[in-house]
Homo-oligomer: A and B are copies of this chain.
């Protein structure tokens, strides 16, 4: 290494990746300061190179990229094994982070929201710290915390537990376990699901939780048509809401 290493910027992505052909200008969804840093980066590590290329095109419409998009180097993160939601992947840190070791700034980005939060990327950040590379997160939204704020549930104590098991029996056990944890620690429990299973998860929550437990669902936050519904399980049972099967949702429960 000659000179000091570059910085690893954690570059948030917009939350509208699910809405094909979104036309919202990126400066409406993301601070100019973030767009400016992104426009200057020539090296990226990305969950999905196609997504980052689409992101860079939206950036370029606001602040011209420092170099032509064709010459920007985007290296993809290894994919987790199929069905391996949330499982760690093994990365080749020195290879991925080589540009930073050579003194160049590097962007890390996932499909939506913050890299490494309910998304791949944390292994790269861990490797960067171990290699003495400065890590700088840029301000951006996470659907998890927007959903938490919109739920009205306890935001002073909460946990994100990822995906629930898809097997119905294991799922019902897990739901009751999360309800007990929530009650014992006054802790909001947040979870996500693959969009086509949104309705199945909601049905399971309503079937297995106590009537007084509160459930909130946020769908497609920051996108047109976004909504949040919060209420007791008893209320939900009286008036069901069908969830879209093609939009990411965040589920939250709170038992007291």
Contact = CB atoms under 8 A, between A and B. Distances in A.
A27 B33 CA distance: 7
B117 A137 contact: no
Contacts of A86: 156-157
Given A31-B28, A31-B30, A137 B146 contact: yes
Contacts of A88: 154
A162 B155 CA distance: 9
A10 B122 contact: no
Contacts of A54: none
Nearest to A150: B137
A117 B145 contact: yes
A28 B32 contact: yes
Contact of A148 (B117, B130, B150): B117
Given A29-B31, A31-B30, A162-B157, A152 B136 contact: no
A56 interface: no
Nearest to A140: B141
A83 to B, nearest CB: 14
A100 to B, nearest CB: 14
A86 to B, nearest CB: 4
A159 interface: yes
Contacts of A227: 134
A160 B157 contact: yes
A77 interface: no
A231 interface: yes
